[in-house]
Structure 1
């Protein structure tokens, strides 16, 4: 049985129009109580900017067990009675399956980890951030919207560009979490950007999506700078 046999059927799939094999893979992860279809605004923006990419959004594996009337969707981990201590434990318990899905979709499209990017909102963003902390060479970029680390990193994920995007009016996940994460990653030598936009709450707001597209276009990962510098040094060694 192949790893693809264990993968969920995506709630949303966007592939290159010309039928060509995708050159990039964006995997999107929704917030607690939501579903994969709710990531469509981000998926469409990515598709417009990267027409040769595959963009997939999946439902979390478990039914939402939160407050009555709080949603009929899915969750990556339970938020019943959640606090700073048990959040870490719950995320850790959910990570193996999450990481296996990321690996499995990358293998399905024949793309190495450098060509895989994760985009998550709220709880989905927590999972994406913690996944690259826990698993080396899982993805080259993470876009985390209205999210946080379960606990502040002790080391920066190697060769991963982290883009934190948050609304300053977010009353569910206060923006200070994104600021703390960014400051910590910078101190640890990580590749990170952090954008906090005024007047935006806890939502996948179009302004946050636009800012994410700008960061993807303009931010050059340190890994690519190193490769360019090495190539230039090798060129300099060649006789003229």
Structure 2
């Protein structure tokens, strides 16, 4: 059983799938692309809820009206793309991060869930924000699913205890897949927990095959943090088998 409804505006406009009979055990926060809205992420939200019925899955609207195209529709954005270029893009993302991070913290607090049980998933601009948020803030989320988006600036350190899943179409004309390959290679060199799935025949879209692959990664990929904790527990048991 689940509840599918609008969250009150004072808690940030969102579409939500919530367990109706128990407190959520996980929290997935979903972030759309520029010029879209929370509904763009509904296919992913539905898939996550089916796989994790005890999770709270929220698809949030960006805080600003889309302004990159005059009269460009009623969509939203996480930061402005009007006049954006390689020189100012990183600064715009950095300026938007404090409010973005505060929103994530607020939702985790509302559901009383610790950061390892919080996962961020974004498409395009939403993916940029999710990736950069865990770079900038410690103990914010345990996982990031980045669909059709990348880093504003190539990472200089691995996010601590965060599993990064990059999911991208090889035919993406907006954000070239080569950039995501470079980012994944850099993260591996830095010692990050990262997977990268780049699928042929897919452009700049939240494609069902990318969603399917993301769900497989969530089920099969064990974070290094979990392995480390398990190894520590095993070592302690060996030292004191009666503990």
Match of 1:85 in 2: 87
- Distance in 1, matches of 2:69 and 2:205, equals 19
Q: Find the partner of 2:172 among 147, 170, 173.
A: 170
Match of 1:73 in 2: 75
Match of 1:16 in 2: 19
What SS does structure 1 have at the residue aligned with 2:19?
coil
Q: Find the partner of 1:56 among 37, 41, 58.
A: 58
Match of 1:222 in 2: 224
Mapping for residues 201-220 of structure 1, pairs under 5 Å: 201-220=203-222
Mapping for residues 1-40 of structure 1, pairs under 5 Å: 7-10=11-14, 12-17=15-20, 19-40=21-42
- Distance in 2, matches of 1:64 and 1:239, equals 60
Instruction: Please report how far the alpha carbon of residue 181 of structure 1 lies from its aligned counterpart in structure 2 after TM superposition.
Output: 1.0
Q: Find the partner of 2:48 among 46, 49, 54.
A: 46
Using CA pairs under 8 Å that are at least 6 residues apart, name the structure with larger relative contact order, 1 or 2.
1
Structure 1 spans left out of the alignment, 5+ residues: none
- Distance in 2, matches of 1:113 and 1:40, equals 23
TM-score by length of 2: 0.94
Q: Comparing 27-36 with 77-86, which one deviates more in the overlay?
A: 77-86
TM-score by length of 1: 0.95
Aligned residues: CA RMSD? 1.4
Structure 2 spans left out of the alignment, 5+ residues: 1-7
Q: 1:71 to 1:197 in 2, by over 3 A?
A: farther
- Distance in 2, matches of 1:6 and 1:155, equals 35
Matched, 1:192 2:191: no
Match of 1:114 in 2: 116
What SS does structure 2 have at the residue aligned with 1:45?
helix
Instruction: Please report how far the alpha carbon of residue 72 of structure 1 lies from its aligned counterpart in structure 2 after TM superposition.
Output: 2.2
What SS does structure 2 have at the residue aligned with 1:56?
strand
Instruction: Please report how far the alpha carbon of residue 85 of structure 1 lies from its aligned counterpart in structure 2 after TM superposition.
Output: 1.9
